[in-house]
Structure 1
Amino acid sequence: MSISKTFAATTIIAAISLVAAPAHATQGELAIDLLDDITIAEEHVDAPYDRDEWAPSGWADADDTGCTTQQDILIRDTEPASQVIDDDGCTLIFGTAVDPYTGEFVEHDRDAADFNRTPFDVDHVVPIAEANRSGAHSWDADMKQEFYQDKDNLLAVIASENQSKSDADIDNYLPPNQGLYCDYVATTVLVKRKYDLTMDQAEHDVAASILTDDECQETPAHPAVTMSSIDADAVDTSTQEQSGDRDADHIEATNFQAALDDPVGWAGDNPVWALAAAGVIGVVLLGARGARKKKS
């Protein structure tokens, strides 16, 4: 091969690599340091989004393991000692895990009489729609499929919690298990930096707040698998009280507005508060009636 042909071929390969591969593989750096490299920008909330473009054939064997990515994650994230795997080497028949997001014990049992689907979902820590809003809307089809199948961003979690999370970023969702905060945000930072995705100011502020906490400062930017081997004793769901304190004004305002908009519906959803409110109103009315009698 001539030098000119060699140079041309090398140039083409390099160009393909720049387009097809994530620009930054930064695993191992401190997450707090990596956060400084993430661009802060408004989300592209109006960007076109078609989830089918990200996985037109669903889960695929993206890294030639012989199994689909979903099958690999279910096996990777369940307790090895509990596993029964089909002869195909891919299908998980039985396996258990402590769900990292909630701390719940989860049992996958395909032989159970009531087995309909696995209780696990494979969660994208950085959701697909969030990636789309953060700059990925301009990617080509190959890049979108690569992101969809990237195991650095995938974690087996209880299906109900994955559905609760939906496509929220870390400003709008953190796992109920507060003990996971450092790792969850560190993985988010890794994935966003790896793919040159942006954060809006609110998301960046949450990441900075968590990663500068004494417990999180030394957390490396690591892939989602780090969260899969959770110790049940390390689960801390007391975050519900803390996050309630942080968002108290927002929660109260939302409930107050709901009560005004649909008092009957609100009372049905909040019977204890409705009874308390009725009691307060009753006391006020009785007081007012007594005052009128005195005047008369």
Structure 2
Amino acid sequence: MTSLRSKFLSLIALPVILFGSAACTPLTDAGSDAGANAGTGASHAGSGTAAVQEATAGSAVEQLETLPIKGRAPKTGYDRDEFGPAWADVDRNGCDTRNDILARDLTAVVFKDGTKECVVASGTFADPYTGTTISFVRGNETSTAVQIDHIVALSDAWQKGAQQLSAEERGQFANDPLNLMAADGPSNGSKSDSDAASWLPPNKAFRCEYVARQVAVKAEYRLWMTQAEHDAVAGVLSACPDQPVPDAGRASNAAAAPSAPAPPAAVPPEVADADGTPVYANCAAVKAAGAAPIRAGDAGWEAKFDGDGDGEGCTS
């Protein structure tokens, strides 16, 4: 039987597009890009305009030229609540947006039992921002390793037109898959609410897709760019003038996966005592044996698996 989650993922999945070619790789580092873009607006704007003449129809370069250029509005009145409840279930598939994006962007996903394939318990994440692979495990001390980034930050949007959107539109903006991507936690923290003029992903091979997503989001929600931001985006796209416009609301980061995923961690083998009762070294062994979650009274149960004392262990 096809689950609600499978139906949702089938809607937002896109064909894989490769971004690792030299044609899609800007020549400068993120830090130097920010300074150069801020100081050379005229030359970058010119290169972006010239690229339009050679770009294919439906390119990010063409779409960029449709965006208004204005100054940044005051941040007065900004509050996260202006964009609705965090991680609302706007598509009404029964799962919150954070877990929808984790399920979309991770591979080898394991869902927490009893959540109707909603809560992602673990998975492998090919981070597009750094080009590294992260083993995600849900937990109070581990979940922050993989965060969900608003590609166009909420604060940035507020200062560039979102104040004029309706409350419903702002809620959709905050939960739109086009504007959301799982990301390495430290990278997401360093980005904060920066636009392309002051922050770009360290992974140069992903910058074309990254700025194309920003352009698409701002076009979709009638937002504007500052001159410095426009010039920074044009500078990136000048290296990839045929970068396509992402499909609104259905983007995927599958193409950002490193070419060689990290090997899985070794799982301690299951052993048995004299009467044949299984003995598990840890929760990894419990899961590998298909015995998770393990409960008091189950074969192989030990109190060490029950960190919160609820009689059930190895649930996350």
Gaps of 5+ in 1: 1-27, 235-296
Query: Does 1:217 find its partner at 2:245?
Result: no
Shift of 1:115: 4.2
Give the counterpart of 2:203 among 174, 177, 181. Answer: 177
| Structure with the largest fraction of helix | 1
Query: Does 1:150 find its partner at 2:179?
Result: no
Give the corresponding residue for 1:62.
Answer: 90
TM-score, normalised relative to structure 1: 0.64
The whole-number CA distance in structure 2 between the counterparts of 1:95 and 1:44 is 40
Give the corresponding residue for 1:137.
Answer: 163
Give the counterpart of 2:185 among 159, 166, 169. Answer: 159
Structure 1 60/198 Cα, relative in aligned 2: closer, same or farther at 3 Å?
same
Give the corresponding residue for 1:189.
Answer: 215
Give the counterpart of 2:129 among 77, 89, 101. Answer: 101
Larger radius of gyration: 1
Give the corresponding residue for 1:168.
Answer: 194
The whole-number CA distance in structure 1 between the counterparts of 2:75 and 2:98 is 30
The whole-number CA distance in structure 1 between the counterparts of 2:92 and 2:125 is 25
CA contact (8 A) 2:112 2:120 kept: yes
Give the counterpart of 2:70 among 14, 38, 41. Answer: 41
Give the counterpart of 2:100 among 72, 75, 87. Answer: 72
Partner SS state of residue 226, structure 1: coil
Give the corresponding residue for 1:204.
Answer: 230
Could you give the per-residue CA deviations for residues 118-175 of structure 1, whole angstroms, max 9, x where no partner exists? Answer: 4211100000000001111222221211111111100000111111000000001000
Partner SS state of residue 242, structure 2: coil
CA contact (8 A) 1:184 1:227 kept: no
Give the counterpart of 1:30 among 59, 73, 86. Answer: 59
Could you give the per-residue CA deviations for residues 78-132 of structure 1, whole angstroms, max 9, x where no partner exists? Answer: 01xx221123210111101121101222111237xx8443421110000000000
Task: Please identify runs of 4+ aligned residues in structure 1 that moved more than 3 A.
Answer: 223-226
TM-score, normalised relative to structure 2: 0.60
The whole-number CA distance in structure 2 between the counterparts of 1:46 and 1:226 is 30
Gaps of 5+ in 2: 1-56, 261-316
Could you give the per-residue CA deviations for residues 47-102 of structure 1, whole angstroms, max 9, x where no partner exists? Answer: 421111213x32111101110011100110001xx221123210111101121101
CA contact (8 A) 2:59 2:244 kept: yes
The whole-number CA distance in structure 2 between the counterparts of 1:221 and 1:188 is 10
Output the amino acid matched with 2:133.
Answer: F
Give the corresponding residue for 2:290.
Answer: none
More relative contact order, 1 or 2 (CA 8 Å, 6+ apart): 2
The whole-number CA distance in structure 2 between the counterparts of 1:195 and 1:58 is 19
Give the corresponding residue for 1:232.
Answer: 258
Output the amino acid matched with 2:95.
Answer: C
